[in-house]
């Protein structure tokens, strides 16, 4: 087991290295760099640009060095917690991102929690009451959730939240708390504002999860060992919890790895619509402006989430399923 963990961690580090190289190269791929974009912008506004100033900036930003050199500087910096410098904001990336990262994490973890808490009981219910009215009704709702575009749902809900609860539109906190230190009031405000985005971002994931859990559980309920359990005289509830549900959990857990990045990147449009101060919209502009280090940091963050998510789900799976734990090393 320990060996397995070590091997996994080594592969994780290697994966991250490969991803960082890819990310860096892809961001640099389009012709030009941040400065050319910047100069174009200035010129379109009718200002002339001094070549000496450009050279100065180029040197200042380190854009005169080779790609490889810059890459290693970047990676080396990240290992020390220095994520580089954002051209766009003229600030270190860490400062630009700052609160946004925290808020993103809060939002995303709330969403994942929401997805699990809602989809789990509904999935179990629809599977155990297959073809009942409850199943049909919840399944219908689930399909609605899958089919409705998120941003539309966001707009509708924002409207209602404002009309009925007086929650301010947009943002993750009331305007008066912006740029204020964290207080209880601010936290409560964040929680209040969290509800709508969490619901909006989580709906389709929830609906998908319900469908998957229902299908898995239905498969498991057909299995012979369920009959064995009934033949033992187990009460239905205990039987369900101990055997088929436990088996149906596997794909549920294996999904964690996929869900983390999905929720992060899937929320970009919603964040734009609802003007949430999360990382999504910023990533978009950073990519548009070729703000190398800002975009790179975001993408690395996403990759890190994926890799960690996969790692977590693997460990959980091994802990839960003895077949994986004990047979992992052998083939056939």
Partner 1 sequence: MTDLLRVNDLHVGFRTQGGTVSALRGVSFRVRAGSTVALVGESGSGKSVTAQAIMGLLPRSARITRGEILFHDEALRQSPLAPAQSDGTVDLAKLDPTGPGFRCVRGDRISMIFQEPMTSLSPLHTVGDQIGEVLLLHSGVSRGDARRVTVEMLRMVGFPDPARAFDTYPFELSGGLRQRAMIAMALVCRPSLLVADEPSTALDVTIQAQILRLIQDLQAELGMAVLIITHDLGVVANVADEVVVVYHGEVMEAGTLHDIFDRPAHPYLKALLKAVPHFDMKPGERLVPLREIRHQTGHLLKQDGAAAHSAQGADKAKPLLDVRHITKSFGTRKGGLFGVAPKAGIRAVDDVSFHVLPGECLGLVGESGCGKTTLSKILMRAVAADEGEVIFDDGEKRVDLLKLDDSALVAMRRRVQYVFQDPFSSLNPRMTVFDLVAEPLVIHNIGDLAYRREMVAELMRVVGLDPRFLNRYPHSFSGGQRQRIGIARALALKPRLLLCDEPVSALDVSVQAQILNLLKDLQKELGLTYLFISHNLAVVDYMADRIAVMCAGRLVEMAPREALFRNPMHPYTKALLSAVPFPDPRRRLDLTALMEGRASNPQAWPEPFGILGGGRYDMVDLGGGHFVRARECPALADLLEAAS
The contact set with partner 1 (CB under 8 A) reads: 7, 10-11, 223-225, 227-236, 242-243, 246-247, 320-323, 326-327, 329-332
Is residue 120 a contact partner of residue 130, using CB atoms and an 8 Å limit?
A: no
Cα separation, 176 vs 186, in Å, equals 9
- The minimum distance between CB 231 and partner 1, in angstroms, equals 5
DSSP track, 78-98? HHTT---EETTTTEEHHHHHH
**Is the CB of 90 or the CB of 331 nearer to partner 1?**
331
Q: CB count, 10 Å around CB of 102?
A: 13
State which residue, 131 or 164, has the beta carbon closest to partner 1.
131
Give min distance, CB of 254 to partner 1, in A.
Answer: 15
From the CB of 329, what's the least distance to partner 1, in Å?
Answer: 6
Rounded least distance, CB 70 to partner 1, Å = 30
- In the complex, minimum distance from the CB of residue 124 to partner 1, in angstroms, rounded to a whole number: 17
How many helical (H) and strand (E) elements, i.e. helices and strands, does the chain have? 16, 2
- DSSP state for residue 285 in the 8-state scheme: H
**Which is nearer to partner 1, 13 or 117 (by Cβ)?**
13
Nearest CB to partner 1, comparing residues 53 and 223: 223
Nearer to partner 1, 240 or 274 (CB): 240
In contact, 203 and 149? CB cutoff 8 Å: no
Tell me how far, at minimum, the Cβ of 32 lies from partner 1, in Å. 39
- Tally of CB atoms within 10 A around 288: 11
Distance CA 274, CA 268 (A): 10
Go through 242-279 and write b for each residue having 16 or more CB atoms within 10 A of its CB, e for each that does not.
ebbbebbbbebbebbbebbbbbbbbbbbbbebbebbbb
In whole angstroms, give the CA distance from residue 207 to residue 106.
21
CA angle 67, 70, 73 (to 5 degrees): 150
Which residue's CB is nearer to partner 1, number 15 or number 36?
Answer: 15
Task: Identify which of residues 53 and 230 has a Cβ nearer to partner 1 in the complex.
Answer: 230
Nearer to partner 1, 187 or 324 (CB): 324
Minimum CB separation of residue 279 from partner 1 in Å reads 33
Torsions phi, psi for 173 (to 5 deg): -160, 165
Compute the least distance from the CB of residue 305 to partner 1, in Å.
24
What residues does 85 pair with on adjacent strands? 92
Place of tokens 């009925």: 164
């Amino acid at each position: 087991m320990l060996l397995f963990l070590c091997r996994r961690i080594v592969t994780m580090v290697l994966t991250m290295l490969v991803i960082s190289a890819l990310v860096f190269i892809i961001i640099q791929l389009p012709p030009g760099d941040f400065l050319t974009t910047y100069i174009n912008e200035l010129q379109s506004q009718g200002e002339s640009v001094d070549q000496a100033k450009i050279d100065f900036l180029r040197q200042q930003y380190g854009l005169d060095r080779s790609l490889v050199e810059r890459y290693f500087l970047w990676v080396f910096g990240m290992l020390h917690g220095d994520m580089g410098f954002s051209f766009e904001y003229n600030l270190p990336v860490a400062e630009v991102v700052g609160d946004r990262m925290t808020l993103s994490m809060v939002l995303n973890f709330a969403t994942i929690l929401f997805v699990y808490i809602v989809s789990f009981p509904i999935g179990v219910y629809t599977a155990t009451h297959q073809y009942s009215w409850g199943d049909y009704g919840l399944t219908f709702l689930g399909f609605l959730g899958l089919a409705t575009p998120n941003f539309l749902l966001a707009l509708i809900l924002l409207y209602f939240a404002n009309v009925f609860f007086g929650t301010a539109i947009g943002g993750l906190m009331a305007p008066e708390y912006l740029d204020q230190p964290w207080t209880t009031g601010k936290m409560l405000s964040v929680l209040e504002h969290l509800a709508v985005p969490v619901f909006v971002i989580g709906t389709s994931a929830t609906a998908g999860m319900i469908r998957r859990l229902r299908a898995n559980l239905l498969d498991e309920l057909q299995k012979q060992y369920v009959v064995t359990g009934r033949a033992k005289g187990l009460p239905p509830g205990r039987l369900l919890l101990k055997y088929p549900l436990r088996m149906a959990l596997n794909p549920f857990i294996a999904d964690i790895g996929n869900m983390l990045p999905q929720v992060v990147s899937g929320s970009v449009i919603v964040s734009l619509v609802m003007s949430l101060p999360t990382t999504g919209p910023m990533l978009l502009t950073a990519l548009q402006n070729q703000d190398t280090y800002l975009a790179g940091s975001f993408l690395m963050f996403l990759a890190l989430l994926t890799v960690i998510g996969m790692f977590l789900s693997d460990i959980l799976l091994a802990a839960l399923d003895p077949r994986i734990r004990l047979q992992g090393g052998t083939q056939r």
